[in-house]
C-alpha cells in the first residue's frame, strides 16, 4: 500500500468526485429520513495543502486552487455551493490551506440524523482519520478492507445510503474489482446510490469497463467523465470518471451544466473533454 492521497488531494479528479458527492448528499436530504454514507476507501479526511507532500506535486493548484478563483456562472455556482462552502468554511481567512476529503465533506454536510461509516487500511491514514472523528457519534471509522465492507456493511440499517468506492488503483485489476464489487453490493442493497471512481489515462480499458458494467444489467447507471489534457505525451492521470448507480433524477441535467464549466476551468490543454451519459437506463441507446 504505497498510495497516499495527500499528494493528490484537491486535484482535478477530487474536484469532480467531491462536487458530485456533495450533490448526492444534498439530494438525500430532500427527505427527513436518516441515511448513511459508506466510504469504502476513505483516506485521512482532512488535508493540509501547505504540507510538504501536497506542495511537492502541487496538484491541488490545478484543481481546487483554480476552481476557488474562477468566476462561475450563477447556475453552476449554485450547484457547487455545498462543496465550495465546505472548503470556504475550513479556510475562514481565505485561500485553500485545508481541504476536505470525502468523509469530511460528507460529514460537514450532514444533519444530526445522518451517519458515516468510513473504511481505511493504511495504518497512518487510519490513525489520522480516527483522530479526526474521535468522539463524533455520527461517524464510525473502521480498519477494514473496503472491498469487504461492500459485503459486510450493506444494506445499512437506515435502508438509505450513498456508497462511495474510491480505490487507489495501485493494482492493474482494479477496474474489474470495481465491477465485481458493485455486482455483489448491488445484490445486497439494490436501493443504494453508488458512486464509483476510476482513472482516465493512456491505455485504460474504459470500453471494456463500461461494457462489463452494462452487462450487470443494473437498471440505472450514469457515467460522468472529465479529462483535463491529452494522454498522448504522458502515462499519468489525464482525467477521471464516476459511475453513479441509482442517481438522483436531477443529476444528469446537473452534470450537463457542471461539466462544461469544470472542463473550462480545469483544462490543461486544448484536448480537455467531458461527457455525461446513461450507461444503462433512462435514455437508451447510450447518448454521448
Ligand atoms: N476517498 C478519499 C477522498 O475522496 O478524500 C480518497 C481515498 S484514496 C483515493 C484511497 C484510499 O484507500 C487511500 O487512503 C488508501 O490508503 C486506502 N486503501 C487502499 N486499499 C484499501 C482497502 N483495500 N480498503 C480500504 N482502504 C484502502
pLDDT at 70 over 80: yes
N-terminal to C-terminal alpha carbon distance within the chain: 36
Residue 32 is labelled as binding a ligand: no
- Sole residue written with cell 505525451: 233
Name which residue sits closest to atom 16 of ligand 1, judged by CA.
122
Tell me if the pTM is above 0.90: yes
The rounded mean pLDDT for the chain is 96
Q: Just give the CATH number of 17-45+113-280.
A: 3.40.50.150
SS3 278: strand
Q: Look at ligand 1, atom 6, and give the residue with the nearest C-alpha.
A: 43
Over the stretch 7-31, which tens digit does the pLDDT of each residue have? 999 999 999 999 999 999 999 999 9
**CB of 116 closer than 8 Å to CB of 140:** yes
Q: How far apart are CA 277 and CA 288, in angstroms?
A: 6
Phi first, then psi: give them for residue 6, nearest 5 degrees: -55, -30
- Supply the residues annotated as catalytic: 166
Question: Looking at residue 287, what is its pLDDT?
Answer: 45
Domain boundaries, the chain: 17-45+113-280
Here the cell at position 88 is 470556504
Categorize the per-residue pLDDT at 1 as very low, low, confident or very high, splitting at 50, 70 and 90.
confident
CA of 148 to the centre of ligand 1 (A): 13
Protein residue with its CA nearest to atom 17 in ligand 1: 41
- In whole angstroms, give the CA distance from residue 179 to residue 164: 14
Residue 158: C-alpha distances to residues 38, 114, 132, 155, 162 (Å)? 12, 9, 24, 8, 11
**Confidence at residue 283, expressed as pLDDT on a 0 to 100 scale:** 66
What does the alpha-carbon distance between residue 199 and residue 178 come to, in Å, rounded to a whole number? 12
Neighbours of 207 (CB within 10 A): 8
pLDDT at residue number 75: 97
Most informative mutation of 2, 19, 41, 83 for ligand 1 (most atoms within 8 A of CB): 41
Amino acid at each position: 500500500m504505497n498510495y497516499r492521497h495527500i499528494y493528490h488531494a484537491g486535484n482535478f479528479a477530487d474536484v469532480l468526485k467531491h462536487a458530485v458527492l456533495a450533490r448526492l448528499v444534498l439530494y438525500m436530504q430532500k427527505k427527513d429520513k436518516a441515511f448513511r454514507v459508506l466510504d469504502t476507501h476513505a483516506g485521512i479526511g482532512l488535508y493540509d495543502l501547505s504540507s510538504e507532500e501536497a506542495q511537492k506535486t502541487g496538484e491541488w493548484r490545478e484543481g481546487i486552487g483554480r476552481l476557488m478563483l474562477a468566476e462561475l456562472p450563477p447556475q453552476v455556482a449554485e450547484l457547487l455551493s455545498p462543496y465550495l462552502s465546505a472548503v470556504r468554511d475550513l479556510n475562514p481567512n481565505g485561500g485553500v490551506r485545508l481541504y476536505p476529503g470525502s468523509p469530511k465533506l460528507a460529514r460537514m454536510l450532514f444533519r444530526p440524523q445522518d451517519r458515516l461509516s468510513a473504511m481505511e487500511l493504511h495504518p497512518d491514514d487510519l490513525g489520522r482519520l480516527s483522530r479526526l472523528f474521535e468522539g463524533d457519534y455520527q461517524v464510525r471509522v473502521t480498519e477494514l478492507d473496503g472491498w469487504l465492507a461492500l459485503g459486510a456493511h450493506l444494506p445499512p440499517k437506515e435502508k438509505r445510503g450513498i456508497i462511495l468506492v474510491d480505490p487507489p488503483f495501485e493494482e492493474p485489476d482494479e477496474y474489474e474489482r470495481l465491477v465485481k464489487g458493485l455486482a455483489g453490493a448491488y445484490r445486497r442493497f439494490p436501493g443504494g446510490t453508488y458512486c464509483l471512481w476510476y482513472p482516465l489515462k493512456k491505455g485504460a480499458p474504459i470500453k471494456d469497463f463500461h461494457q462489463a458494467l452494462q452487462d450487470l444489467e443494473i437498471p440505472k447507471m450514469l457515467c460522468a467523465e472529465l479529462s483535463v489534457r491529452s494522454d498522448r505525451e504522458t502515462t499519468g492521470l489525464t482525467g477521471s470518471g464516476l459511475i453513479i448507480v441509482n442517481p438522483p433524477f436531477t443529476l444528469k441535467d446537473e452534470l450537463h451544466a457542471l461539466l462544461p464549466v469544470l472542463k473550462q476551468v480545469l483544462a490543461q490543454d486544448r484536448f480537455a473533454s467531458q461527457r455525461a451519459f446513461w450507461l444503462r437506463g433512462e435514455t437508451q441507446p447510450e447518448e454521448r
